[in-house]
Amino acid sequence: MQIEKLPQFIINQIAAGEVIERPASIIKELVENSIDAHSSKIEISVVNAGKSYISIYDNGDGIQKDDFHNAVTLHATSKLHNLNLNEIDYLGFRGEALASIASVAKISITSKYKDSNETWKAIYDKNNVRDLIPATLNSGTKIEVSDLFFSVPARLNFLKTDITELSNIINTCKQIILPYNNISLRLSSNNRLILNYPPSTIKIRISDILGNEFTDDLCEVNYESESCKITGFVGKPTLNFNTQNKLFFYINGRYVKDKYLSLTLKSTYSSLIPHDRYPIAVLFIDLPKKDFDVNVHPRKLEVRFRDIKKLQQNIDVAVKSVISKVSNISSIFIANNFRDSLIDIQNKNYQKSNKTTTEIKKFNNDLIFNNPTPKINSLQEDSSDFEIDFIPEFSDQSKEQEHLQQQSNLFELQTNKPDNDIDLGTAVTQFMNKYIISKSSEFIFLIDQHAVHERVVFEKLKKNFYDKKIESQQLLIPEMVYLSENDIELLNNNKDKIKELGITFKKISNDLIEITSLPIILIESNKSELIKDLIEDFTNDDDMTCNNSMKNKIERILATFACHTSIRSGKTLSVEEMNQILRLIETTENSAQCNHGRPSYIKLSLKDLDKLFDRI
C-alpha cells in the first residue's frame, strides 16, 4: 500500500478532532480570540446549547479584508510575530481554531477592521471563502457557527443533552472571563440572557462568577517572590466542598487545569479541611515566559512547568500566610447556611401545623408583644450544679493530678496569636454536654466543645513537635500490639520519625511489637488503636506528589493523636471551664475548624436571629 499525503480537508478534520470536542470548545476558542483582539465587550448567543447555532460578537480590532482566507487556514495566525514558541503573548498561537471549526461546521465571519471604514462578511465553504460581501457592523467581529459536526455526523452522538452542553458552555465562559474584569461578557441561550458580567473590579467579578454568598469568606492573596507573583483570593478553611470546581488557577491570564496545583492547595489546607474536600480559591500566577510551556495540549488547558516544586512551595507560602490569619474565624457562609436550615426546619414545622407565613409572623409578634419582659437570665444555669468531669476519669488520685497538670499545660498554650482579634464573649451555658453557648454584645456563639478542644490539642502538639519538645514517657508495663508483617516493616522503616513523635517500640517477632514509650499526653489512650491509626496515616499517600508530604503525614499523625486525647463531647463543663475554652479558641491558630475540617463554632448576629424569627 502506498503512503499518501492526506488532503488538506482531512488534515483539518483531524485537527478539529483534538480542538473541537463540543460546543463549549468552540465558545472557548472564540472567546479567547475576542480577548486577544483587545475587545472590551463580548456577546455570545447559542441555540440548542450551541448544537445548531453559535454567534459571538465583539468590539475588538477586527480582521482585514485580505485576511479572511488565512483566518480559517490551518496553522495561520497573526499572533506569533517572532516565530518563537517561548514568547507567546496571546491566548491563541496555534492558528488551529477557526480552521478546525470551519472543517466541522458552517461558519461565517463579519468584521470591521479597526483602521477601515468597511465591513465585510465572509461565508465559508469548508476552509475556503465562498462569498465575500459588504456588510454593516459598528466595530469588531461577529462569528456565526451553525450545523455543528454536519461533516462528521458520528461526533454528534458523543454530545450530551442540551442541559449538560449548556452547563459546559457556562462553565467555560466563567473560567475564561474571570481574570478579565474590564471586559463585559453576556451569554444568551435560546434568546434568554443567562450570564451577564459587566466590567467591574476583580473582587466583584469573582463574586459574580463564584456566587456572592462566598464574598465575605474570601481572603486576598498578594505575594511576590523572585520567581513568581501570586495574587487572588482563597476561602476560609471552614468553607470547603466535595469537588474541585471552585478552584481556579490562571497562569499569566490563562485558565489551566493542573492536578499538581490542585494538590498543592489541598496540601496547604490539609490539616484544616477533611481529606476528601477542597477549598475555594482563585489564584492568578504570573511566571516568566521561560518558566512554563503552554504548547503541550491542543486546547491549551494544561501547561508544563520548568520547576513545579518551586512553584508549589511559593503557592504554599502565599496561601498559608493568608489562611493562618483567618483560620480561627468561622465561615460566614456556613453560619448563613445554618441559619437558613434552621429557618427551613421552622417553616416545615409550621407548615405541618398548617400555619401560613402571615400566621407565623402574627404568632411571633404576639409572642413577643404579649411577653414584654423576657426572663433575661433564663438561659443561665447554675454552674455549681454541674459535675466537673471535663477530664477523663481515672482510677487513682495521683494519676488524676498528673493528668490535670497535663491538661492545664495544654491550656497554657498561647501559639502565635492570629492577627484577627476574635471575641467569643462569655459562656452562658452548655447544651447536652456537647455544645457551649456564649454571647458577646453583638453575637451569640454555638461552639462544638470536642471540635474545639481537638484543635487546641493539635496546635499544641504541632508546636511542641516543631520545637522538638514532645514529652515522652516510658511505659511501666510495655504494651503488646499484634500487627501484620508489612505494618511492622513500615513502622521499622520510619522508626526515627516515630521516635521524634515520642513513640518508641521494640520488634518482638514478625507479627508482634512492644510499645515502650509514648508521649505523656497519649498514656491513657487505646494504644493498639493508636498504632493502627498511625500506620494508616503513614500509608495514606494521597499527597505524595507534593514536596511537603512528610510534613503532611506528621501533621496528620499529630491530628490523630489529638483525636485520641481530646475531650469527647458528652463531658459536663463548668462556666469557668467553658470560658477557659473560649479564651483558648481566641488565641489558638486555626481554631475555626476541628482537625477534620468541620466548623468548630458558629456565630449568629441579631440580624441572623431576626431573620430566623421572620422579623426581617
**Residues contributing to the site for Mg ion (CB under 5 A):** 33, 92, 97
The residue from 41, 69, 79, 434 that contacts ligand ADP (CB under 6 A) is 79
Q: Which is nearer to ligand ADP, 70 or 324 (CB)?
A: 70
The residue from 9, 93, 411, 613 that contacts ligand ADP (CB under 6 A) is 93
Q: How far is the CB of 78 from ligand ADP (least distance, A)?
A: 3
The residue from 77, 175, 438, 588 that contacts ligand ADP (CB under 6 A) is 77
Give percent helix, percent strand, percent coil of the chain, each to the nearest 5: 40, 20, 35
Q: How far apart are CA 547 and CA 264, in angstroms?
A: 9
The residue number whose beta carbon is nearest to ligand ADP equals 92
Q: How far is the CB of 87 from ligand ADP (least distance, A)?
A: 14
Position 105 contacts ligand ADP (CB under 6 A): no
476 within 8 A of 608, measured Cβ to Cβ = no
Handedness of CA 283, 288, 289, 292 (dihedral sign): negative
At position 517, the amino acid (one-letter code) is S
Q: How far is CA 147 from CA 89, 106, 108, in A?
A: 33, 6, 12
Q: How far is the CB of 14 from ligand ADP (least distance, A)?
A: 15
The residue number whose beta carbon is nearest to Mg ion equals 92
Q: How far is the CB of 295 from Mg ion (least distance, A)?
A: 13
Q: How far apart are CA 228 and CA 251, in angstroms?
A: 10
Q: Collect all residues with Cβ–Cβ distance below 8 Å to 375 and sequence separation of at least 6.
A: none
Question: Among candidates 575, 603, 604, 574, which has minimal Cα distance to 427?
Answer: 575
Position 126 contacts ligand ADP (CB under 6 A): no
The residue from 13, 20, 28, 29 that contacts ligand ADP (CB under 6 A) is 29
The residue from 12, 13, 25, 34 that contacts ligand ADP (CB under 6 A) is 34
Q: How far apart are CA 42 and CA 177, in angstroms?
A: 10
DSSP class per residue in 389-442: --SPP-SSHHHHHHHHHHHHHHHT--PPPPSS-----EEEEEETTTEEEEE-SS
Q: How far is the CB of 99 from ligand ADP (least distance, A)?
A: 6
Position 406 contacts ligand ADP (CB under 6 A): no
Q: Which does 208 bind (CB under 5 to 8 A by kind): ligand ADP, Mg ion, none?
A: none
- Taking the alpha carbons at both ends of the chain, their separation in whole angstroms is 80
> Which region among 73-81, 209-217, 244-252, 513-521 touches ligand ADP (by CB under 6 A)?
73-81
Q: Which is nearer to Mg ion, 33 or 438 (CB)?
A: 33
Position 141 contacts ligand ADP (CB under 6 A): yes
Q: What is the largest CA-CA distance in the chain?
A: 99
Q: Which is nearer to ligand ADP, 31 or 329 (CB)?
A: 31
Position 37 contacts ligand ADP (CB under 6 A): yes
Position 144 contacts ligand ADP (CB under 6 A): no
Q: How far apart are CA 601 and CA 594, in angstroms?
A: 9
Q: Which is nearer to ligand ADP, 95 or 179 (CB)?
A: 95
Position 103 contacts ligand ADP (CB under 6 A): no
Position 481 contacts ligand ADP (CB under 6 A): no
> Which region among 55-63, 188-196, 218-226, 266-274 touches ligand ADP (by CB under 6 A)?
55-63
Position 33 contacts ligand ADP (CB under 6 A): yes
Q: Which is nearer to Mg ion, 95 or 599 (CB)?
A: 95
Q: How far is the CB of 212 from ligand ADP (least distance, A)?
A: 31
Q: How far is CA 44 from CA 144, 164, 212, 440, 466, in A?
A: 10, 18, 23, 51, 55
Give the number of other CB atoms < 10 A from CB of residue 353: 8
The phi, psi pair for 126, rounded to 5°, reads 50, -125
Residue 358: helix, strand or coil by DSSP?
helix
Q: Which is nearer to ligand ADP, 69 or 275 (CB)?
A: 69
Position 98 contacts ligand ADP (CB under 6 A): yes
Write out the three cell numbers for 537. Answer: 496515616
Position 78 contacts ligand ADP (CB under 6 A): yes
Position 88 contacts ligand ADP (CB under 6 A): no
The beta strand positions in 48-183, using DSSP E, are 53-58, 106-112, 119-125, 128-135, 140-146
The residue from 23, 50, 62, 235 that contacts ligand ADP (CB under 6 A) is 62
Length of the chain: 616
16 within 8 A of 100, measured Cβ to Cβ = yes
Q: Which does 60 bind (CB under 5 to 8 A by kind): Mg ion, ligand ADP, none?
A: ligand ADP
Q: Collect all residues with Cβ–Cβ distance below 8 Å to 426 and sequence separation of at least 6.
A: 438, 439, 440, 579, 582
275 within 8 A of 542, measured Cβ to Cβ = yes
> Which region among 71-79, 227-235, 497-505, 522-530 touches ligand ADP (by CB under 6 A)?
71-79
Position 595 contacts ligand ADP (CB under 6 A): no
CA 317 to chain centre: 17
The residue from 63, 422, 584, 602 that contacts ligand ADP (CB under 6 A) is 63
> Which region among 77-85, 187-195, 240-248, 540-548 touches ligand ADP (by CB under 6 A)?
77-85
Q: How far apart are CA 223 and CA 332, in angstroms?
A: 25
Q: Which does 459 bind (CB under 5 to 8 A by kind): Mg ion, ligand ADP, none?
A: none
Q: How far is the CB of 554 from Mg ion (least distance, A)?
A: 47
72 within 8 A of 131, measured Cβ to Cβ = no
Q: How far apart are CA 172 and CA 151, in angstroms?
A: 25
Q: How far is the CB of 321 from ligand ADP (least distance, A)?
A: 37
**Site size toward ligand ADP, by CB under 6 A:** 22
Position 554 contacts ligand ADP (CB under 6 A): no
- Strands 247-251 and 281-286, by their bridges, are parallel
Q: Which does 93 bind (CB under 5 to 8 A by kind): Mg ion, ligand ADP, none?
A: ligand ADP
145 DSSP assignment: E
Position 27 contacts ligand ADP (CB under 6 A): no
Position 43 contacts ligand ADP (CB under 6 A): no
Q: How far apart are CA 144 and CA 53, in angstroms?
A: 7
**Residues in the site for ligand ADP, rule: CB under 6 A?**
29, 33-34, 37, 58, 60-63, 71, 77-79, 92-99, 141
